[in-house]
Amino acid sequence: METSGPSNPEDLVILLRSGRAPREIRLFAARGLLPLDPHDSLRALLAVLRDSDTETASTARETLRATPPDRLAAFVTSGTPRGDELDLLARESDDPFVLEEIVRCRVVDDRTLLFLARTVSGRPQEAMIANQARLLARPALIEALLENPALTGEGGRLLSELQEEFFEKEARRRAAEARRAEEDAEAARAPEPESAEALGEEDDLELGDEEGEAPETEDASREEEGESLFIGAIYRRIGLMTVGEKINLAYVGSKEERRVLVGDTNKLIGIAVLKSRAISINEVESFAAMRNLDEELYRRIAQSREWMRKPAVVLTLVRNPRVPIDISLPLLKRLATRELRGVIRDRNLASVLRTSARKLLTQRRR
């Protein structure tokens, strides 16, 4: 018995999503047997994953679990998935590679990220923390990550710093402004003294002392708040840019803009930052210490003879747990004895790195 249906793959997927497709076609989709290309076949499978028919839904779930993770990841990166399809994959897959690609996908919904923020660990969690522009645009993601029992100590520290820098300081600034406004209003309502002579000489001296100290403290506070607002504005502005615009800014932008851009999920943007003519050696050292960069950026730093002439950059790369072993291990020979001892004591580093540092230290003592 032949089953008639739409010949266009897109129409077939639309029919399956509508729930009006015949049961036989829905079962074929659940088994992955429809004559469709790999991406459309996955779309059809996801369309029946929550089918009202128990057998169809159960079969679809079994087929999805049997699908190789690299095929699912390829669908996320190049199959132009919809937000609801990514949400289904996020809730059904436990493969870290697939989940990382979902986190990095531009079209993923906030509700999907909120679900993942409370549960993911490893690289998917690191990718989510690295996307600071999205975290700043959706503060609830920070709170969800902090609720995650699998959150690493380093991840918690980065999130707390982000929260402190861009939200708690802003709240304190607004509270300070409200207090100042209340004080100004009270001062305006208070009766003025009849003459300047109402103030005694002693009061003048005390007032002068206070006026000599208060502006300095207030200026420092305002400067700190202004810097926080400035960085926050940069994050928000860059978050709205296209990849091309970010790359252009990486070449010509300011130091603050380069620091935001170097951690972008697209490594091409980070590479453009490292190619900027305005970049300083101190910036490179700070980048080497960051734990949310693409591995390729650490390699680019390590391959630069100019940057690697600075011992601080070498040490920073070795002490960064995110730097691949094949980069950090050869650099051990360039460390001083005191620095090798620090590597041996650092439990955040890979055991092979600490063991090699201990062997090298023993050889130097002979």
Confidence of residue 7 (pLDDT cuts 50, 70, 90): low
Q: Say if residue 40's pLDDT is above 90.
A: yes
Q: Which residue reads 């972008």 in tokens? A: 264
Q: Where are the beta strands (DSSP E) in 146-290?
A: none
Q: Say if residue 219's pLDDT is above 80.
A: no
Q: Which among 271, 197, 205, 264 has a CA at the least distance from the CA of 235?
A: 264
361 within some domain: yes
332 within some domain: yes
185 within some domain: no
Mean pLDDT, rounded, of the chain: 84
pLDDT in the model for residue 188:
66
Radius of gyration of the chain (CA): 29
Q: Say if residue 221's pLDDT is above 80.
A: no
Which long-range CB contacts under 8 A does 261-267 form with residues at least 24 apart? Answer: 262/287, 262/290, 262/293, 262/297, 263/130, 263/132, 263/290, 263/292, 263/293, 265/104, 265/127, 265/130, 265/131, 267/294, 267/296, 267/297
Q: What is the pLDDT of residues 56-96, one digit of tens each?
A: 999 999 999 999 999 999 999 988 899 999 999 999 999 99
pLDDT in the model for residue 209:
47
Q: Say if residue 193's pLDDT is above 80.
A: no
| Range of weakest confidence among 32-36, 76-80, 181-185, 258-262 | 181-185
For residue 105, give the 3-state DSSP assignment. Answer: coil
Interatomic CA distance for residues 273 and 300, integer angstroms: 11
Domain termination residue (choose one: 122, 150, 178): 150
Domain termination residue (choose one: 86, 121, 150): 150
| Domain count across the chain | 2
pLDDT in the model for residue 134:
81
| Range of weakest confidence among 74-83, 120-129, 167-176, 301-310 | 167-176
* Joined tokens for residue 10: 């897109």
Q: What is the pLDDT of residues 251-268, one digit of tens each?
A: 899 998 999 899 888 888
pLDDT, average across residues 222-227: 54
Confidence of residue 130 (pLDDT cuts 50, 70, 90): confident
Domain residues for 70? 9-150
239 within some domain: no
Q: Which residue has the higher pLDDT, 3 or 234?
A: 234
Cβ proximity of 26 and 35 under 8 Å: no
Interatomic CA distance for residues 17 and 14, integer angstroms: 5
165 within some domain: no
Cβ proximity of 253 and 272 under 8 Å: no
Reported pTM:
0.51
Interatomic CA distance for residues 182 and 143, integer angstroms: 32
For the chain, the maximum distance between any two Cα atoms, rounded to a whole number of angstroms, is 109
| Range of weakest confidence among 95-104, 158-167, 237-246, 275-284 | 158-167
Close Cβ partners of 30 (under 8 Å, ≥ 6 residues apart): 45, 48, 51, 56, 57, 59, 60, 63
Q: What is the pLDDT of residues 347-358, one digit of tens each?
A: 889 899 999 999
105 within some domain: yes
pLDDT in the model for residue 186:
66
356 within some domain: yes
Q: Which residue reads 């002979």 in tokens? A: 366
Q: Which among 341, 299, 305 has a CA at the least distance from the CA of 323?
A: 299
pLDDT in the model for residue 230:
62
Domain termination residue (choose one: 150, 182, 213): 150
93 within some domain: yes
